[in-house]
Amino acid sequence: MKRFAASTRKVGAARLVVDSLKRVSLTFIGDDHQLNYAVAKVVGSRLGWFPVDGLKVMTGMRKVPDLAALTEPERVATEAELLRGLRNQFRVIATPLPAGAVLQDAVWKDLWGSVIVWIDEDDKSTPKPRTPERQLYEDRAELAVRVKVQKGFGVRGGQTLEGRARAVADTLLPRLSDFLAEKPELTERKRQYVERGCRGDWPELQPAEGSPVVAALDRKPLAGFEEEQEQQQGQEQQQGQGEQKQ
């Protein structure tokens, strides 16, 4: 993961990102889902990408008024199902729940087809502890966007969720543009990964006709087969010896 300094270039950043993404989707991860989704709506409006309201979709999937009606395993399983359904969709922005399905390694097989962005607000007055979840974000995000919380009377609208989301989006888009410009092959490889079925072989993509599942097998006989094979060979040897005596 590479972190870039804030860019002062804002004009045309959205257009450059659209051209560079080539319809590839985005995934915003972080420990503030409400902010991430608000940022997704701002970024989506500027790029023409669709921000997926995961909470609304999941409650509809399970026909419950609120996710609180589900147990934690049910919520994680529902979100994993949602993210799996999004993996073949282009031009969408997903915002997985903190401490949810993103903590499962199997789910990342479905996420790697998108560009992973970690959104992190930095507030010096309330520093965030280093947790395994935040370490996961740092390790797996392809781009980190860390912004300082805006405070003071001179910050007009900065304390509202919408104001915070706009501030993050203003920082995110130029950085994303710079990131994609330095890795022009990234989005094409993401497209190939999706087109080949999100097989879990990111970033070392296997040939289209190959299967990482089959390649991972040791080609060992099934359990019990070796013993059965030895017995059969023993019987054949005994039969051969009997024929020689005759």
pLDDT single digits (tens) 106-152: 999 999 999 999 999 988 888 888 999 999 999 999 999 999 887 65
- SS3 (DSSP) at 19: helix
> Which pLDDT score is estimated for 245?
53
Helix spans in the chain (H) = 13-21, 33-47, 54-62, 72-86, 105-111, 132-140, 161-182, 186-195, 212-216, 225-245
φ, ψ dihedrals at 85, nearest 5°? -70, -25
pLDDT score, position 12: 80
Domains within the chain, CATH numbers bracketed: 13-195 (3.40.50.300), 212-245 (no CATH)
| 79 has pLDDT over 60 | yes
pLDDT confidence of residue 187: 96
Paired sense of beta strands 26-29 and 115-122, if any? parallel
* Residue pair 50/74 in contact by the 8 Å Cβ criterion: no
pLDDT for residue 91: 97
Q: How much is the pLDDT for 220?
A: 46
The pLDDT score that the predictor gives to residue 11 is: 44
Q: What's the whole-number mean pLDDT along residues 219-233?
A: 49
Whole-number pLDDT of residue 15: 92
pLDDT, one tens digit per residue, over 1-39 is 443 333 334 448 899 999 999 999 999 999 999 999 999
pLDDT tens track for 176-224? 999 999 999 999 999 999 999 999 999 999 887 755 554 554 444 444 4
* Position with higher pLDDT, 228 vs 149: 149
Q: What pLDDT does 159 receive?
A: 80
The predicted pLDDT at position 3 comes to 38
Mean pLDDT of 163-181: 96
Q: Global pTM?
A: 0.79
Q: What is the mean pLDDT of residues 215-234?
A: 49
